Structure 1
């Protein structure tokens, strides 16, 4: 029995090697990205619901982009605070701001996808760049960098949405590591020709891609997924590319309590179950092998079965995983979280299992 477990442990590490080195290596070991400005007309789309505190600080940063031809489409999704009034002030202040006011609709009550659909239809440009109301671009070159990746064939661009660093916060390191790992996954699979998700904090696509899939109609009843479910449906190996230049990053304020972060991750995991079968399978295999990597050696070492071999395999796995994610962290400017890699990974695996159990018995809350 123990010999079987040892063989299974070896298989698990081999699968992990394939993920970290072969699959994730497509992004981790990729050459630095060089941008060639396209200067196509762009419409930045921001959907907000009760975001008065964030938009006061962040919308002006969108208006200061170093780009010759762009508009900002601000969508107020029936906010109860002063979001609409602030948007109206921005519309008067900036000539390139267009305001879309959304009233609650009985058929699409509180559905962000309905609000985004109205914003997309109102945009005057064919190329659309998305971010969230609680996000801001790292530099004034954000629009230029993201739009530079568009070509005649590549009409979907997946970007990186980072989180602000908070000193002396271990939760912040967990959040940023998880964001790094997720980005490494979806960037790598996109480079492998199997794009499966993007993030609404930083992504772009040509409007024709939206109408090719009839917008969000296939998953309109699912409250989340205006970003990843759309990409899962619309993205292909021919029309999708990535952007990971430093100036293309956006930043968001991270959750500051474990409860808030856990709730956020519950929504993400609940959405992932609607991915295509291949994408669900590859994500499941990665997580299951992560989980087994911790369970199997504990059993083997508890019985002191071939403990030298077991320890050697553990070291080997950590070396190649650390190297792969280390290169990815360098590209995404998240190197500091890698010092905590072994500890954070264990926490994430346990949290993921907890989320799976919790979501089985209750549904997470979505758009405000």
Structure 2
């Protein structure tokens, strides 16, 4: 019979014994944020909508490379937020969409080009997907011009070509007389064909549903909704129904979810809810980001300026988004759409001559 003293009453753990790892470890926000920083260093943000040119217009002096507190966006904050590319809006307020729309848009375009020229160490004006990559490799934030208002065309395809020659890459169809609740007129269809030929992307945010449906069917290149979240998550006139999101996904377009409290909600999780929903409905290849900074819109808490993108990516990591899905969200989806537009334009220009059509033509 064994000695009772040889049978310990408690379990002893020796040096060679190990305690199993917790199968559900608690990961802190700081750890997710660190992972977000690493991911964004490799896959920076292509921000689909910035109102910076118009916000800078009234300022007597500014320095975006040093830092500018009067706006939401400057080079130090872009770098802190890992923003690699930025679409600069040339859109016009309603009161300027009348007789001076062409001139006002040219003034906005001139201002944008001068702003970039004044900050050569931080910003670079680009037109193509390849130039965006080059700018990133040189340590610059790539600036893409657009969207501009359709009113700037003054119903002339010649003006569209001139604006494109000056760098315009995105045109908003909202409010155009040839893109209304009946859909596209014949001239409107000709505008879309010419945009495809030039490589100008259509922005459908705010356009009537019949216009969205017709453009999605007609356009040979993917389209953008630069400021559209999910209506199923938060009802808003500019947000897209699931039916439209499905059509957008089938066309391989991009729903660029805005970081605004009115459309997406007042918190980071609210924005993440929209991104989750759009990813599920359209697929991860058809969702992107639109900061909407310097537009006068209120932003969700913790997303107040262009430096805060890592906090959103940290939330998506917490929700289980993979690195591949996040790289598509932040960078690759925008690159794909621009590359597609560039390829289609080169092919179309070999097949099709410019048309002189205007809305006043009998055929339009």
Q: Which TM-score bucket, shorter chain as reference?
A: under 0.3
Structure with larger RCO (C-alpha < 8 A, sep 6+): 1
TM-score normalised according to structure 1 size: 0.24
Structure showing the higher helix proportion among its residues: 1
Larger of the two Rg values belongs to structure: 2
